[in-house]
Amino acid sequence: MHDIQSIRKEPAAFDAALAKRSAAAQADSLIAIDQRRRTVIDEAQAAQTRRNDLSKQIGQAKAAGDHARAEALMQEVAQIKARLPELEEQERIVAAELNTALAAIPNLPAADVPEGADENDNVLVHQKGEPATFAFEAREHDVIAPALGMDFETGVALSGARFTLLRGAMARLSRALGQFMLDRMTEENGFELVQPPLLVRDEAAFGTGQLPKFADDLFRTTDGRWLIPTAEVSLTNIVREAILSETELPLRFTALTPCFRSEAGAAGRDTRGLIRQHQFDKVEMVSITTPEQSDAEHEGMTVCAEGVLEALGLPYRRMLLCTGDMGFSAARTYDLEVWLPGQARYREISSCSTCTDFQARRMMARYRPTEGKGTRFVHTLNGSGLAVGRTLVAVIENYQQADGSVVVPQVLRPYLGGQAVLEPR
């Protein structure tokens, strides 16, 4: 959500920032709506002032015995009294129009975000780890994993396309990955473990930017709640409508949850395998900070996600997303892409974003500075640490053996009772 006062002060800068995201200029239309709202407010305030003045005059007229004048003044007061609710309703309608317009506009990109149209214009920040070489032709996970318990057919039979059932070794490895990631976040990186609701109200999905624009990407229950597409929604909304003290910040939350996405815009993409599912597990990181803390927190959060990949021995690269590839609420996003030998390409496994005060304004999430008066909006950040299903894919493809077995990364073996190799059934 954007601040109309800031737009009024610097309309050209606002439109220039939108242009970097290939969005149309909005400042003039927003200011025009706001001016209509201000005009109604001014009329209502003038009417209230006039009513107060008339009330004094009525008292004076009655004291002077001028009952005719008092009666005329009372009739004017009655007219104003009838008019005020109309003005209040007009102000409510115009304010709703303004808020609806503001809510549809994406966050403005940070100054260091490169301009570009799509993923082809993203910028490589760094690349770590050397892709493995094999004495045999590397296979994709959907070829290797069925013999280890990744059951695509049963998942489809139970629920339809983009659902997968894991059993045996695959289910155990998936659970081990999730727990390993949580342990990293809570024991090494200082995040507080949260077990949040998986169903949220409209207000929560609006607060993080999924609603109203991206309703088609979500699943909705018959009673009007939304299945979370990411734990970012639940974790960020912990501070909804809160006024925190500066000494409480930063807050860092993490959760391992199922995530649910309709993949409305992904028809025909990644139809094979586990890469793009309607339901998947993900470890999420959310930080709530002051504006001064947020840039350092963004870097630190991304390093936390990189640490999981490095501990697992998975080659990856960090990409700075261009303006055309960023999400709606993000001001800056780093994507981590893991190397998949079977596909012979890097694939996204984590996105870490700073949303500045964009989500905070939608949630009315503020803090009280230790110095100075009033309140300020917090900054919110979120990142994957990591997507469990895609990490499972990466482990399978990077640790595959010629006989169809998969070596278990050293850091995961304690979670699997010391097992070093997953053998095909």
> Is there a binding annotation on residue 382?
yes
Catalytic one among 184, 252, 261, 332? 261
Question: In the chain, what is the greatest distance between 2 CA atoms, to the nearest angstrom?
Answer: 110
- The answer to whether 66 touches 54, Cβ cutoff 8 Å, is no
Closest alpha carbon to 423 in 406, 398, 401: 406
Catalytic one among 348, 368, 376, 405? 348
390 included as an active-site residue? yes
Catalytic one among 38, 51, 276, 347? 276
> Is there a binding annotation on residue 294?
no
What does the alpha-carbon distance between residue 230 and residue 381 come to, in Å, rounded to a whole number? 13
What 8-state DSSP symbol labels residue 400? Answer: B
351 included as an active-site residue? yes
261 included as an active-site residue? yes
> Is there a binding annotation on residue 360?
no
> Is there a binding annotation on residue 329?
no
Place of tokens 């939350």: 253
> Is there a binding annotation on residue 263?
yes
Strand partners, 286: 253, 382
Catalytic one among 174, 294, 329, 351? 351
DSSP codes joined into one string, 79-98: HHHHHHHHHHHHHHHHHHHH
> Is there a binding annotation on residue 76?
no
Cβ neighbors of 348 (< 8 A, separation 6 or more) are 335, 336, 337, 390
> Is there a binding annotation on residue 371?
no
> Is there a binding annotation on residue 29?
no
> Is there a binding annotation on residue 86?
no
> Is there a binding annotation on residue 292?
no
Place of tokens 């230790």: 370
Give 20: exposed, middle or buried? Use CB within 10 Å, 0-12, 13-18, 19+. Answer: middle
| Rg (the chain; Cα; Å) | 28
> Is there a binding annotation on residue 192?
no
What 8-state DSSP symbol labels residue 420? Answer: -
What does the alpha-carbon distance between residue 274 and residue 251 come to, in Å, rounded to a whole number? 33
Give me the amino acid identity at 130: E
Q: Which residues are annotated as a binding site?
A: 230-232, 261-263, 284, 348-351, 382, 384
Q: Which residues are annotated as a binding site for ATP?
A: 261-263, 348-351
Q: Which residues are annotated as a binding site for L-serine?
A: 230-232, 261, 284, 382, 384
Give catalytic residue positions.
Answer: 261, 276, 348, 351, 390
